[in-house]
């Protein structure tokens, strides 16, 4: 069967995307469980289908070994760290993906975290609900030093959003970003300089061997003790045990996380730290972003099917 089989739960919760998909593929199979399916359950769901739309489900060598009919995968979302791309290539399985399709949704959230942390919006709101009238208003984001680690689609978009604030923006990236720096008046610097001088550090990197747990005790010790850390990229970029220790001891002032090493996140001792703001991986889930990600996946399946 061509399908596609759509295992991405978020896609299958969106009636508009379902309508647009089934207009072209009336026999599409939908994951109606409302949750991520993995392992043997995923194999059974995708079995017999030539095409699939996947979200955060792990597509490993072992999964692909059990899906001999599969010829094409379209990604709902932007991260590819859950898909073994080399295993796809070895089997001749195509991959449809559009980078940065949800960039504005994520960059807006990173900016919201920055303002909320700097101005004590989150902390004082929590205290007020508990009956405490804390008048500390924090500091303005305007004209502060913001460090952006990883200047791809989202990092570049965040640079644009920061322009009215007159921030001193520092960039750390493994690629030459001189054109971006020239366009927005930023500076590309070493990681050491960025950490030592930034008032806010925002992470926008993919998950790779180089970035896995790059935010550890050493990294955090280099930051200023009044600085804030924001992660809207991938959970395993941050070693949560080290971040927890840094937040408890005052190594940094606070942090905001939208992604976690384990999802759904369930370490309540960590999540309840007063200087940690936490959201349930919704950075790319603005209504507009969900439609953009879904339509991208539909486009790639439609394009593949037209060539069959």
CA distances (Å), origin 150, targets 8, 239, 249, 289, 295: 27, 18, 27, 21, 26
Cα 69 from Cα 58, distance rounded (Å): 18
User: Is 111 in contact with 165 (CB distance < 8 Å)?
Assistant: no
CB-based burial label for 89 (10 Å; 0-12, 13-18, 19+): exposed
| 294 CB neighbour count, 10 Å cutoff | 26
Nearest to 120 by CA among 243, 244, 275, 251: 275
Structural tokens at position 32: 């109606």
List active site positions. Answer: 234, 263, 281
User: Is 16 in contact with 291 (CB distance < 8 Å)?
Assistant: yes
């Amino acid at each position: 069967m061509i399908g596609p089989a759509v295992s991405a739960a978020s896609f299958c919760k969106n009636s508009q995307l379902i309508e647009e998909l089934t207009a072209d593929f009336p026999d599409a199979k939908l994951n109606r469980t409302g949750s991520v399916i993995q392992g043997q359950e995923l194999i059974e769901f995708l079995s017999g289908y030539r095409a699939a739309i996947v979200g955060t489900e792990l597509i490993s060598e072992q999964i692909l070994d059990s899906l001999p009919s599969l010829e094409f995968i379209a990604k709902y979302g932007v991260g590819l760290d859950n898909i073994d791309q080399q295993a796809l290539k070895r089997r001749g399985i195509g991959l449809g993906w559009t980078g940065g399709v949800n960039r504005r949704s994520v960059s807006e959230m990173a900016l919201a975290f920055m303002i909320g942390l700097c101005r004590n919006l989150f902390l004082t709101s929590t205290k007020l609900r508990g009956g405490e009238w804390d008048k500390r208003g924090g500091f303005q984001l305007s004209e502060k030093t913001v460090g952006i680690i990883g200047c791809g689609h989202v990092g570049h978009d965040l640079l644009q959003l920061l322009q009215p604030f007159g921030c001193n923006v520092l960039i750390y990236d493994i690629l030459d970003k001189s054109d971006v720096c020239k366009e927005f008046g930023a500076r590309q610097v070493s990681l050491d300089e960025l950490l030592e001088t930034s008032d806010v550090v925002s992470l926008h990197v993919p998950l790779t061997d180089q970035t896995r747990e790059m935010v550890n005790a050493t990294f955090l010790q280099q930051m200023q003790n009044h600085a804030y850390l924001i992660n809207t990229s991938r959970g395993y970029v941050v070693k949560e045990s080290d971040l927890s220790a840094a937040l408890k001891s005052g190594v940094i002032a606070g942090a905001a996380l939208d992604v976690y090493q384990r999802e759904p996140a369930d370490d309540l001792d960590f999540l309840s730290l007063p200087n940690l703001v936490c959201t349930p991986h919704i950075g790319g889930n603005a209504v507009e972003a969900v439609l953009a990600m879904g339509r991208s996946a539909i486009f790639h399946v439609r394009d593949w099917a037209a060539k069959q």
